[in-house]
Amino acid sequence: MTLAGKTALVTGGTRGIGLAIARTLHREGAQVIAVSTSRDQVEAFRAEFPSDEARAELADVRDRESLEAVRSRIPDLDILVPNAGVNTRCVAVELADEALREMIETNLYGVFVTCQVFGPLLIEKGAGRVVATGSLAAIHGMNLRAAYSASKAGLSGLVRSLAVEWGPHGVTVNAVGPGIIRTPLTQQYIDANPDRAQATIEHTPLRRLGEVEDVADVVAFLASDAARFVTGQTIFVDGGISAGSDWW
């Protein structure tokens, strides 16, 4: 699955799953550009990857102009990973309008605009890979995540439609759908609610939580020539939760 000679851009690529994706793509030989809204995370990424093979850019996926500024500094692109996303756990009827808009604008609008800005680089080349970060929540209803689930379901629909539009140009468009993955943010929730982690493990066929590397390796596969005939799919990396449960 070598990605040598490829250039990849990962939004939200300086923390959590996005950072793991950036590291994995770099390990597989790709030149990586990570995009983040956090100046501190951008500086930390640059410190980890001091060479020209990986760099970080400051931009917000909700801001088309900031993405276009990044694009102007990229002469070539082979792999696009719209990964940036946010979540607020809250009862649906009590969710603040600001939090609702942030999730829709980041998880769906932001992915759409990211594809609009960088997709033409792949289309013009006549080849490329798009691998968006969706979620198990797109098909598996979850408590306190109504808006998040809606945004990720929309992303899966976007992936299918873009696969149809961009396929004739040699571009594949897929998504990964992480289940419950151990990231710095989820670890905080787990530490505060250890019973929730145990409940998740008991309802996961593989009987463990996911690690960021579990997701990143699937992204590397979808970004490689090994997945050359796979498009329009959301691959759930969830330990089997979406397959069903043996609790009954």
Each residue's pLDDT, cut to its tens digit, for the chain (248 residues) gives: 689 999 999 999 999 999 999 999 999 999 999 999 999 999 999 999 988 889 999 999 999 999 999 999 999 999 999 999 999 999 999 999 999 999 999 999 999 999 999 999 999 999 999 999 999 999 999 999 999 999 999 999 999 999 999 999 999 999 999 999 999 889 998 999 989 899 999 999 999 999 999 999 999 999 999 999 999 999 999 999 999 988 77
Identity of the amino acid at 192:
A
Contacts (Cβ under 8 Å, ≥6 apart) of 32: 7, 8, 9, 10, 13, 22, 25, 26, 49, 53, 54, 55
248: its two tokens: 């009954």
Strand-by-strand arrangement of the 79-81 sheet: 54-58, 31-36, 7-11, 79-81, 128-133, 171-178, 234-237
Active site residues: 148
Q: What is the pTM of this model?
A: 0.97
Instruction: Quickly name the fold that domain 7-182+212-236 has.
Output: Rossmann fold (3.40.50)
142 phi and psi, to 5 degrees? -130, 140
